[in-house]
Structure 1
Amino acid sequence: LAEAAGIHLVAPEHRDIWAADTRGVGQLLNAALDTAPQKLIIGLGGSVTTDGGLGLLAALGVTAVDAAGEPTDLRHAARITGERDPRWNDIQVVIAGDVDNPLCGPTGAAAVFGPQKGATDEDIPELDKSLHHWADLLADFTGTDGTTIRDTPGAGAAGGVGAALLSVLHAEMRSGADLLLDLVDFRSKVADADFVLTGEGKIDAQTGYGKAPARVAHSAGNVPVVAFGGRVDATAESPVPGIFIDTVAISDPASPLEENLVNAADSLRKAVASWLAAQ
């Protein structure tokens, strides 16, 4: 998903929570559909969008319209019309997500991820309300239950794309990290390790919502896990109970972000060496 609707594609000053949509992701799915796959894994994560998958569905032929029946955006959607390609009935669709947030509420797509995508404090309540209504429209269209769509873990992934795929394409939700850990037989490989080292760009409150470092820690069993991050937010200070025995920031807070990104590999090597030397 991030290749078509990724946060890295839009500079911070140009991010618009109401304008960014996932139509390009739907176009990628159409291209994949034409290859006649038996199983399709859709990676969700790193999006700059919070459109509930509205744009994605539009590309698949399932369109949100306003009261006048004209195609519209999330805020003005009155109903959903159209139908998906029947070929989707023969494909196993798997969502590989990195968070287990629901669609709406205090841990939902708008509240947790909206700010990094350009949402202001004023936008978030309206955005959450729009997603709440969107869940009801998805429920009406698919004959399911709006509460289930709103509350299903992972429905809030990628700005609500999870909800659209779960309801309209009957996708199966899997932790993307777990999927990859299973592929490399991670559990058996670390069974005799002294430590497991993991990390991500920023370790914060979101990390515990099923992101890769948290899933690594879960899969490591009784092996201690240390997390290294470009930044470590104050809300995730070491140690994080039940997840990591330590969290280590690798960047220089006095240097600009661009410089820290360029030096990330060297900074990580030094941080790991320093941590291990202290044990």
Structure 2
Amino acid sequence: MVVAFDAFKGSLTALEACEAAARGVRDAMPGTDVSLVPMADGGEGSLDALLARGGERRSTETVDAIGRPALAHWALDGQHAVIELAQAAGLPQVEDAPLRPLEATTAGLGRVVLAALDEGATEVTLLLGGSATTDGGTGVLRALGASLTDASGQPIADGGGGLAALERLDLRDLDPRALAARWRFVTDVDAPLTGPRGAAAVFGPQKGATTHDVVLLDDALGRLARVAAAELAIDERSIADVPGAGAAGGIASALRALTGGEIVAGGVWFAALAGLDDAVVGSALVLTGEGRFDEQSAGGKVVSVVHDAAVRHGVPLCVLAGAVDARAAAAMRVPALSIAAGAASLADLQRDAADLLAAGAASVARLALR
């Protein structure tokens, strides 16, 4: 059988979740052959899932989304750098301070990209998820040498709010290594840059944006798309309307257009990397899950990717999660069980997640494999 879990945020990495489920299965059904396939979708914890399969961990001193010192971890495999945005511009990093949706910047992520280029990387994969920013990736662009100025030729302020004054994007001093590199943007959403499904409207409130802020940020990101399109002599829609361009506050918009990079669905990319289909073929059962299984789980998240693999190969599947939305389970037509043993606080669930997941996996194994 196969255990293919995403991380349980705040309690278990993807590998730890797989190990806990495998322990429960083996305790319940001794001798069962269990394949562990740690999964991710580009959000927080994706780097750990990747490093569980190999690669060298690197560290870079940088800043977080509000400019405080931070240490970002990333992976280098040959000349391929894999950088998790959440390490340098993540929301969890700044939850101890008042959120600053208009000023938060990806400048710290840009420093990590520069460090990777200094290490000889010729391929850069950005894992986009869990961001505290809505700056359209302009912090990264600035770190790479781009200049963003207002009508008087003065540098605009950092963050998405500053983009409201943007008149010119000057790329003449851009680091040539960035242009020569192959770029990949791994996302867990397919949102466009602007509009009702865009970066500001959908994700801005999670980062502290008020209703007024959302309108300002959406207009500002639209301005970025127009100015960047003019500089690159391309259609504005090829920046703003690309699925995934709105991920992580719009990082995969102008930067993607500039570098010719590709946007890929995180869950599908990790599944291929991890050999999920090969593991599922011929197995008796697949267990998957995450901290919370809800309606968002169906949109390219790990659970939906594992579900699709199980369906392709005709293997039964069960979802185990900390919290389960019955509507999501009904929509995906999958059995889904909460690992909570009765009423419990979030702190209790996080503390006992490994044992609870092991117990849940044991119960399902007894029913499915007997």
Shorter chain as normaliser: what TM range?
0.7 to 0.9
Q: CA deviation at 1:40?
A: 1.9
Match of 1:91 in 2: 181
Aligned partner of 1:223: which letter?
A: V
Q: CA deviation at 1:48?
A: 1.4
Q: 1:63 pairs with 139, 144, 147, which one?
A: 147
Q: CA deviation at 1:250?
A: 3.5
Match of 1:231 in 2: 323
SS of the residue 1:14 aligns to:
coil
Mapped partners of 2:324, 2:268: distance in 1: 23
1:1-279 superposed matches below 5 A:
1-11=85-95, 14-72=98-156, 73-83=162-172, 84-220=174-310, 221=312, 222-233=314-325, 236-241=327-332, 245-251=334-340, 255-276=344-365
What root-mean-square deviation, in Å, do the aligned CA atoms of Structure 1 and Structure 2 show? 2.4
| Cα pair 2:188 2:265 within 8 Å, conserved | yes
Aligned partner of 2:147: which letter?
A: T
Aligned partner of 2:141: which letter?
A: L
Distance 1:216 1:142, change over 3 A: farther
Distance 1:209 1:140, change over 3 A: farther
5+ residue gaps, structure 2, are: 1-84, 157-161
5+ residue gaps, structure 1, are: none
Q: Which has the larger radius of gyration?
A: 2
- What whole-Å deviation, never above 9, does each CA across 1:148-180 have from its counterpart, x for those lacking one? 211111111111111133112221222232222
| Cα pair 2:295 2:328 within 8 Å, conserved | no
| Cα pair 1:7 1:117 within 8 Å, conserved | yes
Mapped partners of 1:270, 1:53: distance in 2: 43
Distance 1:11 1:89, change over 3 A: closer
Mapped partners of 1:165, 1:208: distance in 2: 28
SS of the residue 2:195 aligns to:
coil
Distance 1:259 1:69, change over 3 A: farther
| Cα pair 1:240 1:246 within 8 Å, conserved | no
Mapped partners of 2:315, 2:151: distance in 1: 56
Mapped partners of 2:134, 2:258: distance in 1: 17
Mapped partners of 1:132, 1:253: distance in 2: 47
The normalised TM-score by structure 1 is 0.87
Mapped partners of 1:268, 1:118: distance in 2: 33
- What whole-Å deviation, never above 9, does each CA across 1:232-253 have from its counterpart, x for those lacking one? 357x532223xx5133333579
SS of the residue 2:249 aligns to:
helix
Aligned partner of 1:116: which letter?
A: Q
- What whole-Å deviation, never above 9, does each CA across 1:168-198 have from its counterpart, x for those lacking one? 2221222232222222221021012333222
Mapped partners of 1:252, 1:67: distance in 2: 60
Aligned partner of 2:93: which letter?
A: L
Mapped partners of 2:238, 2:297: distance in 1: 24
Mapped partners of 2:316, 2:167: distance in 1: 51
| Cα pair 2:144 2:178 within 8 Å, conserved | no
| Cα pair 1:98 1:210 within 8 Å, conserved | yes
Q: CA deviation at 1:137?
A: 1.9
Mapped partners of 1:141, 1:169: distance in 2: 13
| Cα pair 1:101 1:209 within 8 Å, conserved | no
Distance 1:201 1:140, change over 3 A: farther
- What whole-Å deviation, never above 9, does each CA across 1:84-108 have from its counterpart, x for those lacking one? 2122333211222222222122222
SS of the residue 2:252 aligns to:
helix
Q: CA deviation at 1:132?
A: 2.0
